[in-house]
Chain A
Amino acid sequence: MPAKPTTGIVTQDASTPWLTLKMREAMEAWLFIGPTLAGFLIFFIGPLIAVVWYSMTEWNLLAQQATFVGLDNYDDALFRNPDFWLVVRNSVIFALGLVPFNMALALALAISLSRRFVGVVFFRTVFFAPVVTSAVAWAIVWKFLLQGEAGFVNQMLAHIGINGPNWLREPDWAMAAVIVTRVIKMVGLNMILYIAALQAIPRDYEAAARLEGASNWQIFRLVIWPLLGPTTLVIMVITTIGSFKVFDHIYLMTGGGPENGTLVLAFYIYKQGFEFFDVGYASALAMIMFVIVMVLTLVQLALRRRDT
């Protein structure tokens, strides 16, 4: 005999004896996460496995046939094709130029803008604006500004008597130009993360250090900087990974030129895969990129762990 239904609460006899509450919860969980999981398997895990296989094949696009060639593509990239090492070198230079510059500028801006003063909102808005702007638009405008003689930047330089180079066409300058313009585009994001971290530091620490006679620099070096550690790590990891992913910016500004001087890994993969349709080789490159990014991430995490 079930408890009498005099109350409004027992609307139906609810026991579904074959389904325990625990099983029901698990079932609901799988339903909730189902779409994400399905998409993850189809668009990430599947392709990740496929790219390993592709990287060990030679594709004939006309015949739509793949022949197994073992590690040939890797051999090709690492030992035979001089382009590959040029591209790796470019990527490393790009990262080494971009990451410290971006982080230092982000931190400097964040420190200037984490206090309250007239205009602080204005400056934050300004420094962050390029982040929400499309990379394509940003690249187009800067490419325009950096034109040879007629470009605005060089005209300004001419006013003060400097003969500016053809920024995007000269090998020495092109890389610097893409790095700097990319930093300006993205620095706002790291700045925001640093500001959030700075504002989360209790004011008492700074006050206590000041009472003990610490100088501004000492306060920064001994109090603020260590407390920013976790944020710095996160920023370093995402900025580094981001620098290896950069594609649209370079595609539009220099097209990888001049003389492949700005041809970076992501772009190179795109070229091999989608312009020359060398699927096997491009897949091997993708695998190498995967390994590089993973190793970089793990090294940074390990370094940090040893530090603290």
Chain B
Amino acid sequence: MTSLTLAGIRKRFGKVDVIRGVDLRVADGEFVVFVGPSGCGKSTLLRMIAGLEDISEGELRIGDRIVNEVQPAKRGVAMVFQSYALYPHLTVRDNMGFGLKVRGVPPHERRQRVEAAAATLKLDALLQRFPRELSGGQRQRVAIGRAIVGEPDVFLFDEPLSNLDAELRVHMRSEIASLHKRLGNTMIYVTHDQIEAMTLADKIVVLRDGQVEQVGTPRQLYERPGNLFVAQFIGSPKMNILPIEAVAGKLPGQPKTASLVGVRPEDLELTEPGSGFVDARILISEYTGASSLLHVQLPSGQVFLVAHDGEAPPADTSVGLAVEPGRLHFFADSGRRAD
């Protein structure tokens, strides 16, 4: 099927560089998620792949073709929009069949393909309705159905779940995952929600300020973040970061170049004062049901988060913080991972 290659892709709006040189390879059938804070350029990058924004510099290949100057509809891609973008004046059936009609697919085939897609998405009963008569989740499904009907090589999703409520979002997330399993197409998915990214992706691309920070599997990003930004962006609650001199004594596995050490809240354990790698005093403890989130203050004045299972000690208790040696992340001054 279809792979994608981005080489030195740049985007300028006037004098502002929004995408500043992106190189990326997406393998055939891969589910790739672009993730990053708002304004990082992830949507712009997706829209450039779709052909909705022109490419200022660089080369975009879909399959073996350079598609920089190919019109959107002729790139073999389909897009699911954040707002679903269903035509308000057309029924569900006509919405899904619109692209086929425009391309001159004969009516009987159109009908077949629309109904096949509707069946997979359980939209059969809704074909005669108008978008305004559908719930958010149904609209979402129609938008996906419209993309499927065109039998594209590559699916593009632009934050497709951000307009749904929490429960529906979890549900649609699993539907998209099973859709990918069934169709096996290459899919590119943009989100700012790292849980979505972690659960859906074969490969995550973390973007910041129009540049790729790191590319890797969810596990790689979580366990071996390549720099401070990724370390703090992936994982919730955020990774704790501490200047290395705030710790008395040498940490296990500490490389020479390291100046910062990071540890995830869920990797920290409470011990007796003096027995951990650093001591702390509990400030607040937030009970969340399954576990408690503790805000603790280090002697250096910094505040750490600790995810603690079981009963939490009361505020003002002095504790020690322990961690398995392999769970420490070291970073150089530049923010890069130091190993």
Contacts and interface: CB of A to CB of B under 8 A. Distances in A.
Q: Do chains A and B touch in the complex (CB under 8 A)?
A: yes
Interface of A: 1-4, 7-17, 19-22, 24-25
Contacts of B76: 3, 7, 9-10
B62 A11 contact: no
Contacts of A24: 71
Interface in B68-102: 68-71, 73-78, 100
A12 B71 CA distance: 11
B151 A7 contact: yes
Contacts of B78: 9
A13 B67 CA distance: 10
A105 to B, nearest CB: 41
13 contacts: A3-B62, A3-B63, A3-B64, A3-B76, A3-B153, A7-B153, A8-B103, A12-B74, A15-B66, A15-B69, A15-B70, A17-B69, A21-B71
Nearest to B100: A8
Contacts of B67: 15
A21 B66 CA distance: 13
Query: Chain B interface secondary structure, helix, strand, loop or mixed?
Result: loop
B73 A9 contact: yes
B203 to A, nearest CB: 21
Contacts of A8: 100, 103, 105, 113, 150-151
B103 to A, nearest CB: 5
B223 interface: no
A12 B74 CA distance: 7
B51 interface: yes
Contacts of B327: none
B45 to A, nearest CB: 16
Interface string B160-202: 0000000000000000000000000000000000000000000
B152 interface: yes
A15 B69 CA distance: 6
B38 to A, nearest CB: 26
B292 interface: no
Contacts of B25: none
Nearest to A1: B64
Contacts of B65: 2-3, 15
B285 interface: no
B76 to A, nearest CB: 5
Given A1-B64, A19-B69, A20-B69, A9 B105 contact: no
Residue with the highest number of chain B CB atoms closer than 10 Å, among A4, A13, A25: A4
A11 B74 contact: yes
- Report, as a range, how many residues of chain B touch the other chain: 20 to 34
Contact of B54 (A7, A17, A22): A22
Nearest to A17: B69
A15 B104 CA distance: 20
B62 A21 contact: no
Given A3-B65, A22-B54, A9 B152 contact: yes
A1 B65 CA distance: 7
Nearest to A20: B69
B149 to A, nearest CB: 9
Q: Which 5 pairs across A and B sit closest by C-beta, in order of nearness? A: A3-B63, A14-B74, A7-B151, A21-B54, A22-B54
B70 A14 contact: yes
Given A3-B2, A3-B153, A7-B151, A16 B74 contact: no
Interface string B204-219: 0000000000000000
Given A3-B76, A10-B76, A15-B70, A21 B153 contact: no
Contacts of A20: 54, 68-69
Interface in B100-159: 100, 103-105, 113, 150-153
Contacts of A9: 73-74, 76-78, 103, 150-153
Contacts of A25: 54
B152 A7 contact: yes
A49 B103 CA distance: 49
A104 B166 CA distance: 53
B63 A21 contact: no
Given A3-B63, A9-B151, A20-B69, 16 more contacts: A2-B63, A3-B64, A3-B76, A4-B63, A7-B153, A8-B100, A8-B103, A9-B73, A9-B77, A11-B104, A13-B74, A16-B69, A17-B69, A21-B51, A21-B69, A22-B54
Contacts of B2: 3
A3 B153 CA distance: 9
A3 B76 CA distance: 9
A4 B62 CA distance: 11
Residue with the highest number of chain B CB atoms closer than 10 Å, among A9, A13, A14: A9
A28 to B, nearest CB: 11
Contacts of A3: 2, 62-65, 76, 153
Nearest to B113: A8
A10 B74 contact: yes
Contacts of A19: 69
B188 to A, nearest CB: 16
B103 A11 contact: yes
Nearest to B61: A3
A8 B69 CA distance: 20
B320 to A, nearest CB: 54
A300 B208 CA distance: 47
Residue with the highest number of chain B CB atoms closer than 10 Å, among A7, A11, A24: A7
A14 B71 contact: yes
Contacts of B103: 8-9, 11
Contacts of B153: 3, 7, 9
A14 B75 CA distance: 8
A12 to B, nearest CB: 7
Nearest to B151: A7
